[in-house]
Amino acid sequence: MTSLGSSQAIEPGAINWMTAGRGIVHSERTPVGLRSASHRLHGIQLWVALPAEHEEMAPAFHHHSAESLPRIERGGASIRLLAGRAFGVTSPVRVHSLLFYADVALSAGAELVPRFS
């Protein structure tokens, strides 16, 4: 739950992207149905600084399903573009700088040279 009123479960492969801007509060809670049994959750929380000109922008929250994120197969590399623009595609995750964030799996012996586009 966020101070914007957003409530979204964290789903495998999906992205819940918050932009703090001039301020956002959030709470992460295990759903009631999962609290009584042991379970595993694998995830990553990433913080990205906003460029100075966006530091006081309105806060925002956006959910992006796993299916909405671009996938690229290239020369032994399986790439899922999580945020930004690279490898000729753009993620639906809105960023405010020239960053890109990708999940890459390489086959044995494969190489990948990033192409920023």
Domain count along the chain:
1
Of residues 99 and 27, more confidence is placed in 99
Is 10 part of a structural domain of the chain? Answer: no
Range of the domain at 89: 15-106
Task: Give the alpha-carbon dihedral of 81, 87, 84, 47, to 10 degrees.
Answer: 60
The string of DSSP codes covering 65-117 is -GGGS-EEEETTEEEEEEEEEETTEE-SS--SSS-EEEEEEE-TT--------
pLDDT of 67 strictly over 60 = yes
> Is residue 98 scored above 60 in pLDDT?
yes
Judged against a pLDDT cut of 70, whether residue 68 lies above it is answered with yes
Answer yes or no: is pLDDT of 117 > 60. Answer: no
Q: For residues 11 and 99, which has the higher predicted lDDT (pLDDT)?
A: 99
The verdict on residue 8 lying in a domain is no
Say if 7 falls within a structural domain.
no
Question: What's the CA dihedral at 102, 83, 26, 31 to 10 degrees?
Answer: -60
Q: CA–CA separation, 99 vs 86, rounded Å?
A: 9
Residue 28 pLDDT > 90: no
Q: What is the pLDDT of residue 115?
A: 66
Q: Kindly state whether residue 113 falls inside one of the protein's structural domains.
A: no
Is 70 inside any structural domain? yes
Check residue 116 and give its pLDDT.
Answer: 63
Q: What is the mean pLDDT of residues 93-111?
A: 94
Query: pTM of the predicted model, to two decimals?
Result: 0.81
- Answer whether residue 4 is part of any domain: no
* Domain-embedded: residue 67: yes
Is 20 a domain residue? yes
